[in-house]
Structure 1
Amino acid sequence: MSESQTLASSQSISQQGISPLHSAALTSPTQTAVKCNGHDISYARLSQMVLALGEQLTCIGVGQGQPLACISRNNLEMICLYWACVDIGAIFFPISPRFPLAQVQGLIDSHQIPFYWSETELALSSSHPLTLDFSLDVSPASEQAATAFDLYRPSNVILTSGSSGFPKAAVHHLANHIANAEGARSLIPLVTGDAWLLSLPLFHIGGLAILNRCALVAATVVLPDPTLPLQALIERDGLTHASLVPTQLLNLLADKQASLKSIKALLLGGGAISIDLLKQLEQRHIASFTSYGMTEMGSQITTGPALSDGTSGKLLLGRELKIVDGVIWVRGDCLFMGYLTDKGIEKPLDAEGWFYTKDRGEWDANGNLKILGRVDNMFISGGENIQPEEIEAALKLHPLIDEAIVFSQPDVTFGQLPAAIIRGDILRSETIYSNTSQEISSIEAELEVFLADKIARFKRPRRYYPWPENTEQTGLKVNRKQLIAAIQSESC
């Protein structure tokens, strides 16, 4: 495999069109668009709700090109707001409800957002709160059909975690999402009547991608039900697809009596999957996939069967990818419009339209992409380059380790030394913790032997810590900074 591999789009997207939601309402009006706490909402009904909501927003003064902040967890209201913004040309700007109020206010101010909607009352200044009617019996004031619009106008913003501390606001148009969904469906089939669990938040690109994928084929979006465990939700709502993080998957597979026969595919995100998890999935005859993706590319870039070697599959339709000096560059139909700034939308691309990902990668002999880690995660120990993700993949080969995060700790002799945070049944063995740092001391010798034939001595962690409690993973990617900060605060 050469250092560069590209694949052009197989299908061009027309400039004008109606949203996939209204298109599905025309072709499959009785199909269930959303399952919400056991209640079915058809595509015809949802289409009418969205048209009525668009009228409300327009009357209030929300106009084309204006960002509308939406501060909420996943719910029917957020789904309606996304599609209504698509219709009227407003920019759907979801913000995590877990953000501190000061951070939400900072985003409102820096992006000059005139209106916001929140599921709870917030004391925000310089922006007007919206009171909207989302009731199922609300219909447009007059007979109204969906109208065609420019698919290439801005439709949403997704905040990226980034490495600068302040999130960047990535802007997409609907054509980006359509291209991403078409490529994703080329490997993970999704058809009318299938049901995908909206397990990822709509303020992450993975959650928004589920909405677009389902609408394009008149599949069902299933909202999580906090009153039911996942296995019960699968049985009640006939789930066929889900995007899961390791904790969710572990809890699901722990119930040996759970019926998972309706599941056609699980999308598990990027990186190596532990051998134990793969064995359990194989025993249940569940097709599982891993992927490499990012906000700026609308979600998935490569996808393939989940493997323990850490590969992330092959390039999907509509994407181009090249590797220069070990670092990945991407472009294609799903590449975002740019970052929203006070100067407008700025495109951080080179002269040929390539986006620099800061991800290190390589192609294996089978044409699968292997992510080697982030350029900005690398550190130097005793003059040697250390890539944390390589060590994490080796640790997850242990049958009793489900997740691992490696980071650097200061050392007088070597400058920096690797340490690891681990989660899994290995922690249930006889483990001794120090009173201050919660450092694991009794399994160091075992893991030193386990890693001996897998990674060089200087790469092996010198200290191990248990996975911090009360940390929640909302996307398919682990929040490294949050976990490392939690350990460092305990160690102080």
Structure 2
Amino acid sequence: MHPQAIALIHNGHALNYQVLYARIQGAAQQLKLAGLSPNDRLASISHNCIEAIILYWACIEAEAIFCPMSPKFPSQQLNDLCQQFSIDHYWAPSHLPNLQGKRISIDFEQTADNEPRVINPQHAVNFVLTSGSNGSPKAAVHSLKNHIASAEGATSQIPLHSQHRWLLSLPLFHIGGLAILNRCAIATAAVVLQDESNTLNVQLPRDQVSHVSLVEAQLQQLLTTPESLQSVQYLLLGGGAISPTSIHALKGFSLHAFCSYGMTEMASQITTSVANADGLSGQLLPGRQLRIQQGHIQVAGDCLCLGYVNPANKDRPWQLPLTVDGWFDTKDIGVWKNGHLQVVGRADNMFVCGGENIHPEEIEQALKQLPHIADAIVFAEPDERFGHLPAAIIKIYPEQAALSKHELEAYLLQHIARFKRPRNYYPWPRGIQAIGLKITRAQVINNTDRRQTLKFAES
């Protein structure tokens, strides 16, 4: 419909939809020649790149199932995942080592001009790995119907059209990355690949990025150079509540900032609102249903995935555990406040302290309202008297900022019950990276040296 509209931008070079689709068809043709049959699963093991984007759409053209995985996983883990989820073929950039199974080679410059295939929107097109409460990966299977409903609902709050450009700052092995591809394709907007040789401060104005998904720590860095946000019209902020400092700073810009609540199983966003410091994730988007049963957030609707890959049952290759009346229990705890959802925490993160239920996320949200606390994770430490006591891992930004324990605890006691305050504070471990918009809680806790407590400034 819009062949000349810009589809991809990489290092300042643009590719239109007509050229992109010709390459997609060329890649799809090669997948079939390589032996992929309909419903075969192809692992794509790479960071974001033009090739991975072409491969995503080529799998849909070839009726194969696109299975993105992180190249940071060790080879043995990748082999185990491919075996667990019955994946016999994989594609990876040439510099990555060989794995078990058949490695597919594709000339991504090759084009084809075949008659477009009619695609059944109900059929599975990809799966995305997600971790359960015990840390073992699950693979959530999506159809185009799921992705279309997700994209259309999201753009009801965050406008997107053919003149817009969305930075692909999230990996394609994260549902947030795939969601950007789908939103832009439906709107014929451009996907801008992140330039690893430059900072966001440089790339955003250079490539005239209009939409960007960030965590607050990235936003805080951008706010130090306000000119870097001159082209940005819409910010989608993830990672929890936004600090009052950032909310106030954003008022000086002519852009719209949003926060949201979403999950892999629902193909990305579920609720969205104007960014706020109250921890409210917003109103329910179209194409989704949400209810709260005994404190648990349950969801349904056109965005809900087909199920988790179920290798043990060939007759039902994917299944999703649902309530007797057809709802998916997210295991998140939430409440409604004036028509907006507030996510209190995860049911499986909750612990008991002296007979009282503690939701770590409530304490984390309070901590992150303080200046210079960029992130916080609260966890349970064993205690002979109370069973468990809360402790906190704190990320300070900038690193040289002084933090007073007296002021911190005085603030906390105004916002949470006294028994919920952390008894120990630890510095944030180095080298921990966000996966998409999320920090892996277990990774931060497991990599924290508890022999070294946080050094506070003298009050």
| Amino acid across the alignment from 1:453 | Q
Match of 1:316 in 2: 285
| Amino acid across the alignment from 1:204 | H
Match of 1:89 in 2: 63
Deviation at 1:395, TM superposition (A): 0.9
Structure 1 residues 488, 165: CA separation in 2 closer, same or farther (over 3 Å shift)?
A: farther
Deviation at 1:489, TM superposition (A): 7.1
The 8 Å contact of residues 270 and 292 in structure 1, kept in 2 or not, is answered as no
The structure 1 segments of at least 4 consecutive aligned residues displaced by more than 4 Å after TM superposition are 488-492
Match of 2:8 in 1: 34
Q: Aligned to 1:105, what secondary structure does the other structure show? A: helix
The 8 Å contact of residues 233 and 254 in structure 2, kept in 1 or not, is answered as no
Q: In the alignment, which of 181, 184, 189 is matched to residue 219 of structure 1?
A: 189
| Amino acid across the alignment from 1:182 | E
Partners of 2:452 and 2:55 lie apart in 1 by 43
Matches within 5 A, 1:80-479: 80-119=54-93, 120-125=95-100, 127-135=101-109, 138-140=110-112, 143-256=113-226, 258-269=227-238, 271-342=240-311, 343=313, 344-365=317-338, 367-425=339-397, 428-429=400-401, 443-479=404-440
Q: Aligned to 2:342, what secondary structure does the other structure show? A: strand
Deviation at 1:351, TM superposition (A): 2.9
Deviation at 1:272, TM superposition (A): 0.9
Q: Deviations over 1:154-175 (max 9, x none)?
A: 0001000222222000000011
Partners of 1:299 and 1:408 lie apart in 2 by 29
Partners of 2:260 and 2:401 lie apart in 1 by 33
Deviation at 1:429, TM superposition (A): 4.2
Match of 1:62 in 2: 36
Partners of 2:72 and 2:398 lie apart in 1 by 31
Partners of 2:388 and 2:399 lie apart in 1 by 25
Partners of 1:270 and 1:447 lie apart in 2 by 21
Partners of 1:215 and 1:89 lie apart in 2 by 18
Match of 2:456 in 1: none
Identical-pair percentage: 48
The 8 Å contact of residues 89 and 155 in structure 1, kept in 2 or not, is answered as yes
Q: Aligned to 1:313, what secondary structure does the other structure show? A: strand
Q: Deviations over 1:301-344 (max 9, x none)?
A: 00001100000000000110000111111000010000002121
Deviation at 1:416, TM superposition (A): 0.9
Deviation at 1:261, TM superposition (A): 2.3
Match of 1:12 in 2: none
Deviation at 1:448, TM superposition (A): 1.3
Unpaired segments ≥5 residues, structure 1: 1-26, 432-442
Partners of 2:235 and 2:309 lie apart in 1 by 33
The 8 Å contact of residues 123 and 143 in structure 2, kept in 1 or not, is answered as yes
| Amino acid across the alignment from 2:328 | F
Partners of 1:50 and 1:147 lie apart in 2 by 12
| Amino acid across the alignment from 1:217 | A
| Amino acid across the alignment from 2:260 | S
Say which is worse superposed, 293-302 or 350-359, in terms of deviation.
350-359
Q: Aligned to 1:61, what secondary structure does the other structure show? A: coil
The 8 Å contact of residues 444 and 464 in structure 1, kept in 2 or not, is answered as no
Deviation at 1:426, TM superposition (A): 7.5
Say which is worse superposed, 181-190 or 247-256, in terms of deviation.
247-256
Q: Aligned to 2:369, what secondary structure does the other structure show? A: coil
Deviation at 1:279, TM superposition (A): 1.5
Deviation at 1:203, TM superposition (A): 0.2
Structure 1 residues 490, 283: CA separation in 2 closer, same or farther (over 3 Å shift)?
A: farther
Partners of 1:179 and 1:212 lie apart in 2 by 10
Deviation at 1:387, TM superposition (A): 0.4
The 8 Å contact of residues 276 and 400 in structure 1, kept in 2 or not, is answered as no
Partners of 2:370 and 2:22 lie apart in 1 by 52
Partners of 1:348 and 1:116 lie apart in 2 by 29
Q: Deviations over 1:358-392 (max 9, x none)?
A: 00001102x11000000000001111110001101
The 8 Å contact of residues 225 and 233 in structure 1, kept in 2 or not, is answered as yes
Q: Deviations over 1:27-83 (max 9, x none)?
A: 111111000111100000000000000000001111111110011000001100100
Say which is worse superposed, 353-362 or 446-455, in terms of deviation.
446-455
Deviation at 1:134, TM superposition (A): 1.0
| Amino acid across the alignment from 1:206 | G
Q: Deviations over 1:74-116 (max 9, x none)?
A: 0001100100011111000001111121111101111221110
TM-score by length of 2: 0.95
Q: Which has the higher contact order (CA 8 A, sep 6+)?
A: 1
Deviation at 1:287, TM superposition (A): 1.4
Q: Aligned to 1:168, what secondary structure does the other structure show? A: strand
Partners of 1:402 and 1:274 lie apart in 2 by 9
The 8 Å contact of residues 216 and 239 in structure 2, kept in 1 or not, is answered as no
Match of 1:8 in 2: none
Partners of 1:477 and 1:312 lie apart in 2 by 15
Say which is worse superposed, 207-216 or 457-466, in terms of deviation.
457-466
Q: Deviations over 1:112-159 (max 9, x none)?
A: 21110112332312x111111012xx221xx41211121111000100
Unpaired segments ≥5 residues, structure 2: 454-459
| Amino acid across the alignment from 2:143 | H
Partners of 1:248 and 1:63 lie apart in 2 by 42
